[in-house]
Structure 1
């Protein structure tokens, strides 16, 4: 895939070139940090003072940023993670570093050096996330201290030392108006989204990777009334809704000794005991879908979850496959899901644009199977297509808006 390089102005040389950091000074800062008595910036200032160097305020600030990146951040990748609008940083090899700013992949000029240096960076990032990455455990999923999601895989499973994927944690939720302005949502559906939240519909947000499921979910949660308690359950904390009462629960992987794991199903069961007004599952990946469906069927309405799916029509098959991991039969899934879920909001990504493409109503087919009927479609531009029967039922349940 070919793409233009990122504007060099986006890349801070002090963060990208490790040679600009004096190794002796960096070692001194590392020792000071190891004592745990000071932060990175204070450690840099103390190390500079004790070395007898005289630096101006700008140079000192650059050195502090470079040290943070090298010791507690993503090293030469940190400048990309800090760039506004970047959602993903992808390393395919030492000289193949790409970013996504919402309009497709762009190749950068970042050079990580050798394959061995790329591997060293991946191992250090895994350690920052409290995980092991080596020949005996060559793949890792972790969360960095700032919330960034990390996936890395080492040679020989991948070429060029290591392949690294970083997903940036979004710091704020968009409003519905901002989604409309950005082209992610047709204006005529804005009122529907508000109605789904305020009238406590159980909503499933579906779509492929990178289509904006978490972004839309954070927007919906920001519409929840302030006097309601929201409990979110996620594999890695990503949701940042603009809401005053959110309790975040995040799964924990086993440590290097193979113990201490807490999975999503455990967290959903705990969330039910926390007096939630809304239960939110960041992403249905496996057997935890059983707990979510059961929760939504026991009076916990107004809940949300996300699911990987290609279209509204295949959501039933995806739910059946995941629930099958929990030992649920197809009939049990149909009964539970039809009673638990109300609406599916499906997102697509096309030509770099992310948008809400379909709205579906969950129910049962004449044969008693789980089904989702498309009520409306949108191509990302122009007018919306309406399926009269399903749309009329949607308006009857949640309208007017």
Structure 2
């Protein structure tokens, strides 16, 4: 029996308006007990069966109300599906998901925009965030670590927009990325050595390219006897070392006070005797402080940045430093970058949905007023795809220059032999 959207909305409103939330709030983590309680409430209000629902239809409505009370409504099954990485809601009828790098339309919907907006507001309230007409944009980290962004009317014209970047439960390592053909074994070994040798690394890439996944994977090779401080807008890093201090930015409160931005965290982290500072993502004026940290004894620091190529990453770093101070000459900014950053690792999401490390590039210094870059590894795609329609290609080892800063670090950390094995036959 199909239930019209009109009847679904009537029953939903009656149930929620008459529901004593305190009676069921403690059952949110136990779905079976919540369903049992809702059955009793449903029978109490609809014992005359005025909507002529059969048993199957009644349980459909009870399930729907349970999903909404628990938080995600029609998105519940998508949140429980580990193969789904992103959920993108463009109004009540248009729900899309990303699975294995490919976007597809989901087979579910909200009753109407009111239900969608109500659920979005409740999700924000659960993490002490507010969204309404006076503040129609909201960003939050959910209790499970997933990132939530909500935009409501009057900003969105076709209904509330809701975006969820699900927290990855599978904490991937470089071996997992190797098995996924995201990089070659030589590249993986090189990145392990670079991490252990305390090279300063920037991971560059677009949205959904796997930057944070790679940053997590590289962090596994940091020594357990180092003091690590992680700084993030939304906590996603999962370091396994014993001596880790995790910090997260904070939005302004209801009275527009109490904000703690990334620059505040970076400045404070420098006073905490860190061995390494890991910034989840550089996106603003805190970049200058990060480079200063890399230049003042905090080797082995890492961060991510939104850019499409290693050269674009340099330009982005320059632009973000100028956000904080336009008085610094561009050549001074570039010299700061070249003296602070050793490697740029470019992550890309290909058009077949796969993720690849397309470049591992070393910053070699300055040539006149320009930053000199040298590819150590790169991915060269094949002209034709394989039999499964997937992108194929070759990871090319370009070799390591004699004046490489990573080579010097490998000597200091007694890892020259391991490094040379990677570049036998490719050294220049």
After TM superposition, is the score higher than 0.5?
yes
Tell me the distance in 2 between the aligned counterparts of 1:63 and 1:278: 52
Stretch of structure 1 that moved more, 202-211 or 150-159:
150-159
Stretch of structure 1 that moved more, 155-164 or 218-227:
155-164
- Greater Rg, structure 1 or structure 2? 2
Work out whether 1:40 is the aligned partner of 2:28: yes
Counting only pairs closer than 5 Å after superposition, residues 268-347 of structure 1 correspond to structure 2 as 268-327=266-325, 328-347=328-347
**Change beyond 3 A, Cα 1:209–1:47:** closer
Match 1:31 to one of 12, 16, 22: 22
Match 1:384 to one of 370, 385, 395: 395
Tell me the distance in 2 between the aligned counterparts of 1:230 and 1:305: 13
Question: 8 Å contact 1:18–1:76 — kept in the other structure?
Answer: no
Indicate the SS of the match to 2:300.
coil
RMSD: 3.1
Stretch of structure 1 that moved more, 270-279 or 96-105:
270-279
What does residue 89 of structure 2 align with? 91
**Change beyond 3 A, Cα 1:317–1:43:** closer
| Total equivalences in the alignment | 376
Question: 8 Å contact 2:101–2:349 — kept in the other structure?
Answer: no
Match 1:187 to one of 181, 185, 204: 185
Tell me the distance in 2 between the aligned counterparts of 1:86 and 1:377: 29
Tell me the distance in 2 between the aligned counterparts of 1:170 and 1:329: 41
Question: 8 Å contact 2:27–2:33 — kept in the other structure?
Answer: no
TM-score, reference length from structure 1: 0.84
What does residue 361 of structure 1 align with? 362
**Change beyond 3 A, Cα 1:130–1:386:** same
Indicate the SS of the match to 1:240.
coil
Indicate the SS of the match to 1:276.
coil
1:373 deviates by 2.5
Stretch of structure 1 that moved more, 271-280 or 173-182:
271-280
1:356 deviates by 0.5
Counting only pairs closer than 5 Å after superposition, residues 12-161 of structure 1 correspond to structure 2 as 24=15, 28=19, 30-32=21-23, 38=26, 40-41=28-29, 45=33, 48=36, 69-161=67-159
Indicate the SS of the match to 2:78.
helix
Tell me the distance in 2 between the aligned counterparts of 1:123 and 1:383: 47
Question: 8 Å contact 1:25–1:48 — kept in the other structure?
Answer: no
Question: 8 Å contact 1:219–1:241 — kept in the other structure?
Answer: no
Indicate the SS of the match to 1:237.
coil
Segments of structure 1 that go 5 or more residues without pairing to the other structure are 1-16, 54-61
Work out whether 1:393 is the aligned partner of 2:404: yes
Tell me the distance in 2 between the aligned counterparts of 1:389 and 1:147: 39
Tell me the distance in 1 between the aligned counterparts of 2:202 and 2:376: 15
Question: 8 Å contact 1:97–1:107 — kept in the other structure?
Answer: yes
Tell me the distance in 1 between the aligned counterparts of 2:38 and 2:131: 35
What does residue 59 of structure 1 align with? none
What does residue 172 of structure 2 align with? 174
Indicate the SS of the match to 1:156.
coil
1:29 deviates by 6.1
Question: 8 Å contact 1:172–1:242 — kept in the other structure?
Answer: no
Tell me the distance in 1 between the aligned counterparts of 2:275 and 2:120: 40
Question: 8 Å contact 2:34–2:66 — kept in the other structure?
Answer: no
**Change beyond 3 A, Cα 1:136–1:207:** same
Tell me the distance in 1 between the aligned counterparts of 2:74 and 2:348: 32
What does residue 248 of structure 1 align with? 246
TM-score, reference length from structure 2: 0.79
